[in-house]
């Protein structure tokens, strides 16, 4: 029987959505049944054996819909295979080092302890000024955040292939 996987995401400007779609593609190419949906469109987790959830990082925080999704579903998620990812740091170098070891908001520590994800990845993101409002552009200019698309698709695809291998291995 094919396993069914939900790739859920919270994305403000679309870059994290594109990462989720790429992960979904890799998982489906490995023979898994995959739905890629925004977190606010996920009515039930019951049909899924595994969940991959990704969230963009905005000014050092996760997007609220992702936090709500994890808190609301923490008991269901505790009984499933779960992988999480964040996207957001821009610039060159290791994204974990750029974020000083941060992979998720500290306020979610209890939720993470309940869920026990297999892995929490942190990917480089994309910062497009043309999609931002005036206040966001002003803040970005003040903190001198690197602007552009820094996503490393090979790293993202390798991570997704590792998930697929784990899910396709009989237990």
User: Number of structural domains, the chain?
Assistant: 1
The residue segments making up the domain with residue 113 are: 4-168
3-state SS of the chain is CCCEEEEEEECCCCHHHHHHHHHHHHHHHCCCEEEEEEHHHCCCCCCCCEEEEEEEEECCEECHHHHHHHHHHHHHHCCCEEEEEEECCCCCCCHHHHCCCCCCCHHHHHHHHHHCCCEEEEECCEECHHHCCHHHHHHHHHHCCCCEECCCHHHHHHHHHHHHHHHHCCC
Q: What is the pLDDT of residues 76-96, one digit of tens each?
A: 999 999 999 988 766 676 655
Q: What is the pLDDT of residues 109-163, one digit of tens each?
A: 778 889 999 998 988 877 777 877 788 778 777 777 767 787 889 999 999 999 9
CATH number, domain of 126, equals 3.40.50.360
């Amino acid at each position: 029987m094919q396993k069914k996987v939900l790739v859920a995401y919270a994305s403000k400007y679309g870059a994290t959505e594109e990462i989720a779609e790429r992960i979904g593609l890799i998982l489906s190419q490995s023979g898994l049944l995959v739905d890629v949906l925004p977190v606010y469109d996920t009515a039930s987790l019951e049909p899924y054996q595994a969940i991959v959830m990704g969230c963009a990082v905005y000014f050092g925080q996760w997007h609220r819909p992702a936090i709500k999704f994890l808190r609301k579903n923490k008991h269901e998620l505790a009984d499933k295979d779960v992988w999480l990812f964040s996207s957001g740091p821009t610039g060159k170098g290791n994204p974990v080092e750029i974020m000083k070891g941060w992979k998720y908001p500290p306020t979610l520590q209890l939720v993470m302890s309940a869920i026990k994800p297999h892995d929490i990845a942190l990917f480089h993101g994309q910062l497009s000024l043309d999609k931002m409002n005036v206040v966001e552009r002003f803040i970005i200019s003040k903190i001198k955040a690197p602007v552009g698309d820094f996503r490393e698709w090979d790293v993202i695809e390798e991570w997704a292939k590792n998930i697929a291998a784990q899910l396709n291995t009989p237990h």
